[in-house]
Amino acid sequence: MEHFSLPALSRVVISGGTHGNEMTGVYVVREMAKNKVDKIGSASRTTVLSNPEAVKVCRRYIDKDLNRCFTDALLSATLTPSSPYEIKRAHELNALFGPKGSPQAVDILCDIHNTTANMGMCFIFYRFDWITLHIFKYIQSKASFGPVRAIQFDTPLPEAYSLEAVAKHGFTLEVGPQPTGVIRADIYNMVMEALDLIMDWLEKFNSGRTFEGGEVEAFCKTNALDYPRDPTTDDITAAVHPQLQDNDFKLLRPGDPIFQSFNGETVKYEGEEAYPFFVNECAYYEKKIAFQLARKISISLPSISVTKD
Amino acid sequence: MEHFSLPALSRVVISGGTHGNEMTGVYVVREMAKNKVDKIGSASRTTVLSNPEAVKVCRRYIDKDLNRCFTDALLSATLTPSSPYEIKRAHELNALFGPKGSPQAVDILCDIHNTTANMGMCFIFYRFDWITLHIFKYIQSKASFGPVRAIQFDTPLPEAYSLEAVAKHGFTLEVGPQPTGVIRADIYNMVMEALDLIMDWLEKFNSGRTFEGGEVEAFCKTNALDYPRDPTTDDITAAVHPQLQDNDFKLLRPGDPIFQSFNGETVKYEGEEAYPFFVNECAYYEKKIAFQLARKISISLPSISVTKD
């Protein structure tokens, strides 16, 4: 089996409130900032409230979804006084924790999100990044709660649009179900435990521990389905079917019910076998996504350890 | 046992979207309006989207919570061009379906709401109104889903602030848990079934059926508790405790945990035995309510039938 020696990881950022109405990250970041523990073992940990203006009004965003603003194109655009608030904020965050793709970028950025979908805890990442995947494997094996899953969005880094793309090893911690604007203690506790486990892992890695390789399972996003809509008004004409609702990551087969129209008719799935996720996520109505689909993949992790001086 | 003869009920209003991000009522009203069945048996049924501007932007309200605008004081205030949108809209709705407390008011107004709390279906009403309570008893006995509960807010009619107060017999149909901005098919189906049962009941009542009296159980609101807050920032410092979360209507005893602070401490309940409801309702953070409390009461219903010509 392959082995990689990788540089020590010294700068960690925990971010919340990238979407101002996803409350777990907001309260986790506020609590951590209160304690002012900046140095944990060999790593420094910084917290940031990514979209403070949206948090103030408890909305996803002010002008534009911040978590779609970190493409190379948007980060290199010239700012003007009339640029959307979130574009300006993305430039600030990129200057603080990036620049994206540069040697100056922070080592780890963990961005905390909530979903109204029944997804449990998910690691979402763009690339087959060995550090992210080893952290995921560690949390999956140690967490007192379950399930913990990995989701890969197969997007090239220049087009990667979310905050974590600015870090060398960035990932989203997506946890649900939790309504927007609501904080649930059970989900807060899960995230706090995961963040402790991340710092544990980092300390062990930086101290020279070898992490053995192995197979991990991940869900690789393939496509997304919109709700049936009225061609004139664009209003949705159906809800997610009760048999699909809350059944994220359960295999969907051709012929399975996926929507129930408001007049009572059932719409059946016509695609290939796939795993649905983000089923009935609140914020995706405007993005025209009823749920996303993935295929299951197996990833062979190499063993890793820190580069000796 | 007492018996009352009451006038026939001919005008029914089904309203939704009083809060623009509570989606069940929005889609129920749109679906019913599409079918244009105005006359069902002896009664006419009208639908209304109460706060169309808030529905457009998927927010609870534009300027002010519409469902707090139907007090006698606010309905008799003089409108100016700068009056809040919802005050103007409350005057319109009162002219259409009231005036509140007048003989011209509609007979029945059922206002559909959602909560993020695990409350199932609840009838919320102000007065011991025999029509409302008989409809409640009928639905409780016939519904294919459960539980169905009754909640009384002991507010004198002049101060009654919600839309249903304009009708002769008004009530709120509160259904949850459903996140704001999300439509769940299971909850949509429950509400559609309840609305069909209401029309069934009305048809039977108007046709001369005698509805037998009996005891019904209701929850009578006593008080409300706020979250622990930081005295300087006013931010909440605790979430609803996992042992209370989702346990609406389960008896709360002195010493039971009610909050978990963000640094992990448990806050215990110090009041008298009571039944919590609206536990962790999204919209009540701004109203400084973590949950409400009720005592359980038993109401003796008289038998009723329609007045013969």
Q: What is the pLDDT of residues B51-96, one digit of tens each?
A: 999 999 999 999 999 999 999 999 999 999 999 999 999 999 999 9
Q: A276: buried, middle or exposed (CB in 10 Å: 19+, 13-18, 0-12)?
A: buried
CB A230 within 8 A of CB A237: yes
Q: Which range, of A67-76, A124-133, A252-261, averages the lowest pLDDT?
A: A124-133
In angstroms, the separation between the Cα of residue B239 and the nearest Cα of chain A is: 6
Q: Tokens in use for A207?
A: 């101290």
Q: What is the complex's ipTM, to 2 decimals?
A: 0.94
Question: pLDDT category, A159, cuts 50, 70, 90?
Answer: very high
Residues of A taking part in catalysis: 174
Pick the CATH number of A3-218+299-306 from 1.10.10.60, 3.30.1020.10, 3.30.450.20, 3.40.630.10: 3.40.630.10
Of A200, A175, A189, nearest to A121 by C-alpha is A175
Residue given tokens 């890695």 in the structure block: A205
Give the per-residue pLDDT at B39: 75
Question: pLDDT category, A37, cuts 50, 70, 90?
Answer: low
Mutation target vs B (from A282, A284, A289; most B CBs, 10 A cutoff): A282
Residues in A touching B283 (Cβ below 8 Å): 181
Average pLDDT over every residue of A93-98 = 98
CB contact under 8 A, B30 and A235: yes
Tell me the C-alpha to C-alpha distance, in Å, between residue A67 and each of A61, A70, A87, A166, A169.
9, 7, 10, 11, 17
Chain CA centroid to CA A157, Å: 15
Residue B5 identity:
S
Question: pLDDT category, B36, cuts 50, 70, 90?
Answer: low
Task: Give per-residue pLDDT as tens, A96-138.
Answer: 999 999 999 999 999 999 999 999 999 999 888 999 999 999 9
Q: Which of B2, B31, B159, B174 is catalytic?
A: B174
Tell how strand B3-6 and strand B303-306 pair up.
Answer: parallel
In angstroms, the separation between the Cα of residue A235 and the nearest Cα of chain B is: 10
Q: Tokens in use for A97?
A: 């924790």
Average pLDDT over every residue of A141-168 = 95
For chains A and B, CB pairs below 8 A equal 82
In angstroms, the separation between the Cα of residue A7 and the nearest Cα of chain B is: 33
Alpha-carbon distance of A118 to A247, in angstroms, equals 7
Average pLDDT over every residue of A165-174 = 97
Alpha-carbon distance of B184 to B175, in angstroms, equals 11
Residue B209 identity:
R
Question: pLDDT category, A297, cuts 50, 70, 90?
Answer: very high
Residue A35 pLDDT > 90? no
Task: Give per-residue pLDDT as tens, A193-215.
Answer: 999 999 999 999 999 999 999 99
CB contact under 8 A, A181 and B263: no
Mean pLDDT of chain A: 96
Question: pLDDT category, B163, cuts 50, 70, 90?
Answer: very high
Give the per-residue pLDDT at A69: 98
Give the per-residue pLDDT at A36: 66
Residues in B touching A188 (Cβ below 8 Å): 239, 260, 262
